[in-house]
Amino acid sequence: MKITTVNGSSPTAHARPTDARQAAWPRIVMTGVALGFLLVFLVLPLIAVMTQALAKGFGTYMSALSDPAALHAIYLTLIVTAVAVPLNLVFGVAAAWTVTKFDFRGKSLLVTLIDLPFAVSPVIAGLIYILLYGAHGWLGPWLDAHDINIVFALPGLVLATLFVTFPFVARELIPVMEAQGRAEEEAALSLGASGWQTFLRVTLPNVKWGLMYGVILCSARAMGEFGAVSVVSGHIRGETNTMPLHIEILYNEYQYAAAFAVASLLALLALVTLAAKAFVEWRASRSHALYDLEASPT
Amino acid sequence: MSVLAWRRPSLMPGFGLSVGYTVVYLSLIVLIPLSAVFIETSELGWGRFWDTVSAPRVVAALQTSFGASLIAATINAVFGLLVAWVLVRNPFPGRKLIDGLVDLPFALPTAVAGIALTAIYAPTGWIGQWLQPLGLQIGYQPAGIVVALIFIGLPFVVRTVQPILEDLDPEFEEAAVSLGANRWTTFRRVVLPELWPALLTGYALAFARGVGEYGSVIFIAGNMPMVSEIAPLLIVTKLEQFEYAEATAIAAAMLVLSFVILLCINGLQWWRTNRHAA
């Protein structure tokens, strides 16, 4: 490989295009600066979580994780996620079907409104449910009279999580279904398939990787949500503390090793999320390549 | 057949069901609860709303939130563009791994990011202890907020710029270079005009996310009123003191500002697609 600097009028006859674009050293400097930036801002925090978690030894680590309050926090996080993600999944599918299979007035407004929760601070996402369901809220007296707890209880945690994870599935599905078009569904329908059959046998298999992708992102955010859940939880230890809230309490009590131990579980979960995301992307691109291969001879 | 007035006929089944479900669910989870903020604020009246929002501590918190987000988004625009460029144009071993890692801030819970960054940048932390003798302090200072927001916002810039950069044909740059332009001129005159809209969108997304960010910031910020207190934290503080009206007024001010940003993002995207269509 020949490295040449191209100076104006005398382009070296057979220089490889890559060489013409960039000499070696700026390329190395740029890569170095970019990697250094990523090292300081992304890799170092991960290493910090892991080392701080084990700073007081493996015994402390395990006892922090097997503490009853920690176990309850893990349990509560899983419950909230298990309720919130399927609800937003169903919504995401319905919204993507509405937006991509039909043309109607107000469609772009609908898409904007679906994205709205991304532009709202998580703290405000918690606040709105206090305004509605809190003791002094609109429905507060009624709920109180019927002995129903929403705020400072599980339903509040689920509602706040639903809000912050609201757009994830829809957002991933809409572009995928848009790219898929309507021809295959229309063919199935004209051959006599019912609406549900068309959806289950034609649409769903076509968008399954996009769907998985949305579910992964949605679950990661649901398990890790802090601000919204913090506002509606009331921080009742062993009752309404999810894992991120448990971390905050431990941290504020100066139990750093324990806080980082619980944090390390969530950090591992984040790495699993990234791996799953990469796998789904790889499968999606492979099925696209296959699809193109099958389509090309015709 | 009055529906036909606002929608084009389609062979597809389930219009009523899917649009009905979408709109009802959207209203129950998002629109009605969000409208509560504005209805509560309007009951306050303009005078009390303005008194709350213009109180020095509130103004300082809003300035801190918006200012730190602005600085962090700017730093992210520069380094995010650099990272995207390196990932697309400069192949190096382990690039796939680094590419995947860019999404870490999306996947890592904000509270975890907050305590990890504090462990690094606190005066006794890994990097903080080396900055301390130089008279620089990041942890428990407004600079800490910026650090947290850089972490949170980075993937927004990288992921909006990256696809555009992948579609950009290096031939244009080669043509510019062969016509005598130097590297910097080529970048400024050939590459940047193509990337500009995507870069602005990523900037706006990172900015919007930074303004509302809470979990990663509160651990590292130090949270001193008037100095390093962010607006979302002030809302939480007011709620804990049962000052619901004031909390709601601050929330309304933040929402209005955020909606304006969202409108700008949509405007930018419209501009981008129309430019490409032309």
**What integer pLDDT is reported at residue A149 of this predicted model?**
87
Specify the CATH number for the domain of residue B180.
Answer: 1.10.3720.10
Residue B259 in domain: yes
CB-based contact A98 B19, cutoff 8 Å = yes
CB-based contact B208 A105, cutoff 8 Å = no
**What integer pLDDT is reported at residue B184 of this predicted model?**
82
E strand or H helix at B16: helix B15-26
Counting the structural domains of chain B, the total is 1
DSSP A103: E
Q: Which residues in B lie closer than 8 A to residue A117 (C-beta atoms)?
A: 30
**What integer pLDDT is reported at residue B270 of this predicted model?**
76
Closest C-alpha to B99, from A252, A35, A70: A35
CA distance B186 to chain A (A): 10
Q: Is residue A221 within 8 Å of residue A118, measured between CB atoms?
A: no
Residue B138 in domain: yes
Distance CA A67, CA B77 (A): 43
Residue B2 in domain: no
Q: Which residue of B has its CA nearest to A87?
A: B25
**What integer pLDDT is reported at residue A8 of this predicted model?**
40
Beta partners for residue B8, in sequence order: A103
Per-residue pLDDT 10s for chain A (298 aa) are 334 444 443 444 444 444 444 567 888 899 999 999 999 999 999 999 999 999 999 999 999 999 999 999 999 999 999 999 999 999 999 999 999 999 888 888 899 899 889 889 999 999 999 999 988 888 888 888 888 888 889 999 999 999 999 999 999 999 999 888 888 999 999 898 888 999 999 999 989 998 998 999 999 999 999 999 999 988 777 788 999 999 999 999 999 999 999 999 999 999 999 999 999 988 888 877 766 666 554 4
Domain enclosing residue B262, as ranges: 46-277
Measured CA distances, B63 to B51, B56, B256 (Å): 17, 10, 15
Q: Considering just the CA atoms, what is the radius of gyration of chain B in Å?
A: 23
Residue B258 in domain: yes
Closest C-alpha to B78, from B172, B173, B187: B187
Residue B25 in domain: no
Strands A103-104 and B7-8: antiparallel
CB-based contact A251 B211, cutoff 8 Å = no
Residue B32 in domain: no
pLDDT at B186 over 70: yes
Higher pLDDT, A289 or B14: B14
**What integer pLDDT is reported at residue A144 of this predicted model?**
85
Closest C-alpha to B255, from B235, B271, B238, B270: B235
CB-based contact A30 B25, cutoff 8 Å = no
pLDDT at B139 over 90: no
**What integer pLDDT is reported at residue A291 of this predicted model?**
63
CB-based contact A94 B34, cutoff 8 Å = no
Residue B28 in domain: no
CA distance A49 to chain B (A): 6
Mean pLDDT score of chain B, rounded to an integer?
A: 89
Q: Which amino acid is at A206?
A: N
Residue B131 in domain: yes
Selected for mutation to probe chain A from B62, B98, B115, B158 (highest A CB count within 10 Å) is B115
Q: Which residues in A lie closer than 8 A to residue B252 (C-beta atoms)?
A: none
Higher pLDDT, B4 or B207: B207
CB-based contact A277 B103, cutoff 8 Å = yes
Residue B7 backbone phi and psi in degrees, to 5: -145, 150
**What integer pLDDT is reported at residue A298 of this predicted model?**
42
Helix-, strand-, coil-residue percentages of chain B, each rounded to 5: 80, 0, 20
Measured CA distances, A70 to A161, A227, A261, B2 (Å): 20, 19, 10, 57
